[in-house]
Amino acid sequence: MKGRTWIWVGALVVAAVVGFAARVVAAPNPTPSGPAKLITVSGTATVSTVPDEALVDLGVRSEAETGDGAQQANAAKMQSVLEALAGVGVEQKDIETIRTSLNPQKLGGGSKHEQTVYVAQNTVEVTIRGLSKAGSVIDAAVAAGADQVQDIRFQVSNPTDVHTLALQEAVRGARTKADAMATAAGARVTGVVSIREQGNAYPQSYNANWEAMAIPAALTPIVPPHEIETRVTVTVVWSLAVT
């Protein structure tokens, strides 16, 4: 796993235990030895990971007296931006068109000089792998004609691995709590009946927003957040036996 990872684990008892007998729950299908004895515990883990990727939305805007003219000018601008991105090492698979539009606009409305112009816009989402070059990538795009930088998000490149680690730690925390409660009640944990994740938490991207606007100067340096948190909660039902 890339970068530093910090883990915080907690567990919350779903239902309080007042004596062992108060936590005995009859199973739907009693066994010959009597009703199953169960305990339900929730465990929570938070994994903090240093981000190693950035996503940024880069756009170009063009105006012309005709729709075709606006689109052609816009396509030429975007092509220049794409070539600049390739020149600083951004691969084609890391560039995705997320928005394109062509709209007429009235100028001098209500006067004898009223005219219609067409505005074309195209926005791509760029994944920057390696934060050390985030500033240079944005600078290159702006220099090539990108006049909109709408926001930048920081994320981890291995969200599934981070999520898995958080799940493991949450279950371990739930087991520790269950063992402590069972021992105090004169019992022991014998197995798992069910495990359920509450929600589906992956590392949250960190957003740094700019309004869509012409960018007159370079945006470097880019300063990412120190950590991104992934918080996971699981509910585990354990089976018990009297010691």
Other beta carbons within 10 angstroms of residue 35's beta carbon come to 13
Query: How remote is the C-alpha of 141 from its chain's centroid?
Result: 25
- Is the pTM higher than 0.85? The answer reads no
- Confidence band, pLDDT 50/70/90 cuts, at residue 101: very high
DSSP secondary structure letters along 120-158: EEEEEEEEEESGGGHHHHHHHHHHTT--EEEEEEEE-S-
Domain limits, the chain = 5-50+159-203+230-242, 53-155
Question: What is residue 232's predicted lDDT score, i.e. its pLDDT?
Answer: 94
Taking residue 30's Cβ as centre, other Cβ atoms within 10 Å add up to: 10
Domain 53-155: give its CATH code: 3.30.70.2970
Query: How do residues 133-143 score in pLDDT, each as one tens digit?
Result: 888 999 999 99
- Position with higher pLDDT, 171 vs 225: 171
CA distance 34 to 26: 9
Measured distance CA(190)–CA(10) in Å, rounded = 21
Q: Between 191 and 153, where is the model more confident?
A: 191
**pLDDT on residue 146:** 95
Residue 194's DSSP bridge partners are: 237
Answer yes or no: are the C-beta atoms of 147 and 60 closer than 8 Å: yes
Per-residue pLDDT tens digits for 197-230? 987 666 655 555 444 344 444 455 677 777 888 9
